[in-house]
Amino acid sequence: MSDLLRSSMAARIARLPDLPPLDSEDDDNEEDEAGDSLGSLPGSGLGPPAAPRIRPQAAKRARPPNPDFAPLSASAYFGEALQVAVPERQLDVRAYYTPPKFAGGTVFVCHHGAGYSGLSFACFAKEVLEMTRGEVGVLALDARRHGKTRSTANPEPPTLDIATLVDDFVAIVRTVFPSSPNNPPPPLLLIGHSMGGAVVAHASPKLQSAGFHLLGIAVLDVVEGSAIEALPHMQNLLNARPDGFDSVEAAVEWHVKTKTIRNTQSARVSIPAIIQAAPPSDPPAPHPWIWRTPLRSTAPYWLSWFQDLSATFLAARTARLLLLAGTDRLDKPLMIAQMQGKFQLHVIGGGVVGHMLHEDDPTRAAEILLEFWRRNDTSKLKLPVKIKGVGEV
């Protein structure tokens, strides 16, 4: 394959929304993954991955785990880790939550992209909490078939289409924030990365109908046109991904060295959640650690995630923010709408972040999201004092 064709494919794939990283494997160990937060899917808008390099299946020597990539506990980033029972959806959901310090404070509700987990928002959440001194809370959840969320159905249904994800999300939010006349739910700002961006866009009218006050929705690095354009290349990108890892540290290292995640600290928190120990087998599995979410099994649902995303986003009856890693990701409907001022667009650009922009630069992402929140938090608006006219009592 020519260099030109590879570059063209990589640029196209970089626009896809959330699929596993396609970068070439830097090290033999980089092929082994860790657990709690899957790498970006190919073509998800991760930023152009390196041209894939397929190595022969030669026997490889396992290196000792590198302590520089050792997992970090999520306890330093969220106040609590919850298991939320959602019987109506037959789910036991893992959620990471730090509530706002003040009654009635806004909560940012975050939905990750395909293959990742709620811990992809860990560093971002810490920045938000520090910048607002606890005025804003953050809730990040693991979606169905991701992270530590478990189905209570036996067998677990494989379905992962957009309608299922949206109904799950709405049910989880309603369970975590039950509404009653004496205890109204807090104002919410919905944030979704890649696949999660589609979920929050579709979920916003349903939550509003259920009585929730939405201050806005923010979609991170996914655009319908470029995402759908990249889907035909996804399988090739998945083929360039390692099947597993020798250790959790090796999984973290692979994500960092391939620039799937450019922030080592964030990767050390998020990656352990997207891998799991391989089940016992005879002969033993080639890799002790494997992906939690087999992305190929989600292929039938990729189109449903992104089809009609632009129209759904623009139809949301609340403030809208599109946060991108690069200007090349805008499609025609969004270009037109942006020129008409129908949503707020922010591009970080400069090549400093990739598809996982909220992990690559959580500080900047938090600044942008907090500016968007302050601009749309109507609770902070004070009505002007009415000045009496001449002759009024």
With vertex at residue 164, the alpha carbon angle to CA 160 and CA 170, rounded to the nearest 5 degrees, is: 135
Indicate if 18 belongs to the active site.
no
CA distance 224 to 227: 5
Beta bridge partners of residue 83, listed in sequence order: 94
Indicate if 355 belongs to the active site.
yes
Beta bridge partners of residue 98, listed in sequence order: 138
Do residues 90 and 151 touch, judged by C-beta distance below 8 A?
yes
Nearest CA to 140 out of 213, 69, 183, 193 is that of 193
CA distance 18 to 58: 30
Indicate if 194 belongs to the active site.
yes
The one-letter amino acid code at 222 reads: V
Among residues 194, 204, 247, 310, which one is catalytic?
A: 194
CA distance 324 to 350: 11
Among residues 28, 36, 142, 221, which one is catalytic?
A: 221
CA distance 179 to 186: 9
What own/partner pairs with CB < 8 Å and gap ≥ 24 does 88-92 have? 88/171, 89/144, 89/167, 89/168, 89/171, 89/172, 90/151, 90/152, 90/153, 91/144, 91/149, 91/150, 91/151, 91/152, 91/168, 91/171, 91/172, 92/149, 92/150, 92/151, 92/152
Please provide the DSSP assignment of 184-215 as one string.
Answer: PPPPEEEEEETHHHHHHHHHHHHHHHTT--EE
Among residues 117, 355, 358, 361, which one is catalytic?
A: 355
CA distance 46 to 258: 11
If 0-12 CB within 10 Å is exposed, 13-18 middle and 19+ buried, where does residue 161 land? middle
Cis peptide before 42 (omega within 30 of 0): no
Do residues 297 and 192 touch, judged by C-beta distance below 8 A?
no
Run of H or E residues at 335:
helix 332-339
Catalytic residues: 194, 221, 355
